[in-house]
Amino acid sequence: MFVTRRVPPRNYFYVHESVDRERLLASGNAANTNNTEVDVKFRIVGGKIVSITEVPYQVLYGRYCGGSLIAPQWVITAAHCKDRETFILAGSTQRSRAQKYRICAHFIHPLWNATAGVSHDYDYQLVLLETPVPVTPSSRPIAIGSLEDIRPGNMVAISGWGHLQFKKSRMQDLVRRVYVPVMADDECRALPHGYFSNITSRMFCAGYMDGAKDSCQGDSGGPAVINGKLVGIVSFGVSCAAPRQPGVYSKVPVVRDWIRAVTALPL
């Protein structure tokens, strides 16, 4: 089944080690050992719990999507996450303890879904916050990478609070991260599912041919990072972490000019 990675209603430092729950509790990033869950859906598949200080750009957009802080007052997420959310959460490993920031404006890419016969093309949305997110070790903007970073075989870091399994889990309270390799466009387009044949130059595929590791619903709009820089946005996939079904990501560098025009940031 084709799915978006969103659950429908109902000088940046980057390290590669995971952090166990006990270390998070000791550092104050988690409040207690009772992982209170809420009835919403989906997370990083096959990933490890990490401290928010390892992914300080990671935010939750509304209740069902991720996003990336690209400036203290700007977040980039996916257009398919809709433009009706009113807040983001940032600054904590533990979702239930993150700080809420109100949204004052949404900017969907003008070419979102405008390509005939192609779903999820130009899957980009910029969000302006009412107040800036303080720059701290737990909340820090990420720089945008280049197209040269998105090479077959390069490892992409994906993070979020989404589900562990497709339709079999709940939104998690601690942020997780997983690494998956970039797949060559020709290899992705040749996969048997028809959706992959429509991959555009705004998209790239990443994942293992045998599955096991992937983003999933609830991770939509979240960051895809190579060498500490933002190169992609979680967009869609066919199920989650299934063999020969990689995740599909929207390339951020290709819309640098649009981001600059909307935000006036010196990118």
What CATH number did the domain enclosing 162 receive?
Answer: 2.40.10.10
Residue 158 lies inside a defined structural domain of this protein: yes
Residue 36 lies inside a defined structural domain of this protein: no
How many domains, in total, are found in the chain? Answer: 2
Is residue 159 domain-shared with residue 74, that is, in the same domain?
Answer: no
Is residue 99 domain-shared with residue 162, that is, in the same domain?
Answer: no
Is residue 234 domain-shared with residue 259, that is, in the same domain?
Answer: no
Residues 6+ apart with CB under 8 A from 76: 67, 68, 70, 124, 125, 126, 127, 230, 233, 252, 259
Is residue 85 domain-shared with residue 174, that is, in the same domain?
Answer: no
CA distance 260 to 121: 20
Which residue range is the domain that position 136 belongs to? 56-141+254-263
pLDDT for position 195: 77
Residue 175 lies inside a defined structural domain of this protein: yes
User: What's the token pair of residue 89?
Assistant: 């959460």
Helices in the chain by DSSP H: which ranges? 21-27, 185-189, 256-263
Residue 31 lies inside a defined structural domain of this protein: no
Residue 45 lies inside a defined structural domain of this protein: no
Question: Hey, CA dihedral for 184, 80, 213, 99, is it positive or negative?
Answer: positive
Residue 259 lies inside a defined structural domain of this protein: yes
pLDDT in tens, the chain (267 residues): 444 544 433 322 222 222 233 333 333 333 332 332 222 223 356 678 999 999 999 999 998 899 999 999 999 999 999 888 999 999 999 988 999 999 999 999 999 988 888 889 999 999 999 999 999 999 999 999 999 999 999 999 999 987 554 444 466 788 999 999 999 999 999 988 777 889 999 999 999 887 555 466 557 899 999 999 999 999 987 656 556 778 899 999 999 999 999 999 999
Residue 39 near residue 218 (C-beta atoms within 8 A): no
Is residue 101 domain-shared with residue 156, that is, in the same domain?
Answer: no
Residue 215 lies inside a defined structural domain of this protein: yes
Is residue 186 domain-shared with residue 115, that is, in the same domain?
Answer: no
Angle at 235 between CA 94 and CA 253, to 5 degrees: 95
The residues annotated with a catalytic role in the active site are: 80, 123, 220
Residue 159 lies inside a defined structural domain of this protein: yes
Is residue 180 domain-shared with residue 85, that is, in the same domain?
Answer: no
Q: Say what the pTM is.
A: 0.81
